[in-house]
Chain A
Amino acid sequence: MATRSHHELTELDRRLLDSFQRGFPLDPSPFAAIAEAVGSDEETVLAAYRVLQDEGFVSRIGPVVAPHRAGWSTLAAMAVEPAALEETAARVSAHPAVNHNYEREHRLNLWFVVTAPDEAAGIVALDEIAAETGRKVIDLPLIEAFHIDLGFPIQWN
């Protein structure tokens, strides 16, 4: 857990967080390459990333896979009355095909992403979730993407 607030991040931390949301070097020594780009040294950069990851400011360093390219996924929604939300949400989250599950303020108040190796397996997962929760699952698969998900610039103020 973070021992610092994000207000206490150093200039180097901020650059490491903001500037490598894409283009993390695919190079034998990526941290040395970053160090060169930001005017630091490999050991300092690696240590800073370790701390940022331990403190939870960096979720992970690695490839971000494209939906539908490396498997199948969909966004699904459910309307759950407040009294049953806790239990239903836990059942949804427990399904191994679910990797995001958010409560949102709407009549459709449970929103989750289902991923599977292929569409047939995805449909099975949606059916299982419907059976396990006894609720209708609204399936809202991606039709067209207008954004190639390059991260977004962090405002530090």
Chain B
Amino acid sequence: MTVAARKADPQGLDPVDRRIVVETQGGLPLCPRPYHAVAERLGLAPDDVMRRMRRMLAEGAIRRIAAVPNHYALGYRANGMSVWDVEDARVSEVGRRIAAFDFVSHCYRRPRHAPLWPYNLFAMVHGRTREEVKAHVAAIGAAVDDAARAHDVLFSTRILKKTGLRIAG
């Protein structure tokens, strides 16, 4: 790809990259040569599909290629969004520390929205029961110690829609 073509798209994906992502993000076909099947559907060479996916993976547009488990079906019924009010100067350090726990699947800094929403650090905590999640959150609390002024944990009571992060075709 030329530099000019790359610059045209702020995400670093050209139209062919996008078509590949759109075609595969809902799942690869479960057949012996899935990338060949995708290539055929898109009218591309299989090597080109794999080479582009490898590049997107290396550049981070694709985070990972995964057999994505449905944690809910596997017994992880309690999903708690733990939220923390951490002083701005320490939020990056604390965020990295929280992200290191293996029961945390996502850890993001987001803006506060005072007075309704005082929290600026979000960590998604997974467990089989609420008690397990609460114990995990307590472990995070002990690790961050005085850096967090307040925290809360929001349990999900219902999943109303879930399709996985997708890019628009």
Measured CB to CB, the residues of A under 8 A from B are 2, 6, 16-18, 20-32, 42, 46, 49-50, 52-53, 55-71, 73, 75, 77, 79, 89, 92-93, 98-108, 111-113, 115-118, 138, 140-155
Q: Closest 10 CB pairs between A and B?
A: A60-B27, A146-B95, A22-B64, A147-B99, A146-B99, A101-B161, A71-B167, A144-B109, A101-B160, A104-B154
Q: How far is the CA of A102 from the CA of B122 in the complex (A)?
A: 15
Cβ of B129 < 8 Å from any Cβ of A?
A: no
Least Cβ–Cβ distance between A96 and chain B, in angstroms? 9
In the assembled complex, B43 has its CB within 8 A of some CB on chain A: no
Q: When the two chains form their complex, are residues B25 and A149 in contact, meaning their CB atoms are under 8 A apart?
A: no
Place the interface of chain B in its size category.
35 or more
Q: Are A26 and B53 in contact (CB under 8 A)?
A: yes
Which of A22, A24, A26 meets B54, CB within 8 Å?
A: A26
A62 interface neighbour in B25, B54, B61, B159, Cβ under 8 Å: B25
Q: A143-B110, A146-B99 are in contact. Are A71 and B160 (CB under 8 A)?
A: no
From the candidates A23, A67, A93, A147, name the one contacting B65 in the complex (CB within 8 A): A23
Known: A21-B67, A152-B105. A142 touches B30 (CB 8 A): no
Total A-B pairs, Cβ < 8 A: 256
> In the docked arrangement, what's the CA distance between A153 and B69, Å?
10
Within the complex, what minimum Cβ distance (angstroms) separates B66 from chain A? Answer: 5
Assuming A59-B70, A65-B63, is B166 touching A115 (CB within 8 A)? Answer: yes
Within the complex, the shortest CB–CB distance from B52 to chain A, in Å, comes to: 10
Is B81 interfacial (CB 8 A cutoff)? yes
Kindly list chain B residues whose C-beta atoms are within 8 Å of the C-beta of A103. 156-158, 160
Q: Of all chain B residues, which has the CB nearest A97?
A: B168
CA–CA, A66 and B11, complex, Å: 10
| A145 to B109 Cα, complex, angstroms | 6
Determine the distance from Cα of A116 to Cα of B127 in the docked complex, in whole angstroms: 31
B105 touches A104 (CB 8 A): no
Measured in the bound complex, the distance between the Cα atoms of B63 and A64 in whole Å is 6
Kindly list 14 other residue pairs between chains A and B, CB separation below 8 angstroms, not including A75-B110, A101-B160: A17-B67, A21-B64, A28-B50, A60-B26, A67-B165, A68-B11, A69-B60, A92-B160, A101-B159, A105-B155, A106-B152, A112-B161, A147-B99, A151-B64
Please determine whether A24 and B67 come into contact, CB atoms closer than 8 angstroms: yes
Which residues on the A side are within 8 Å of B81 (C-beta)? Answer: 104, 111
Contact A100:B163 (CB < 8 A) given known A28-B33, A50-B30, A145-B108: yes
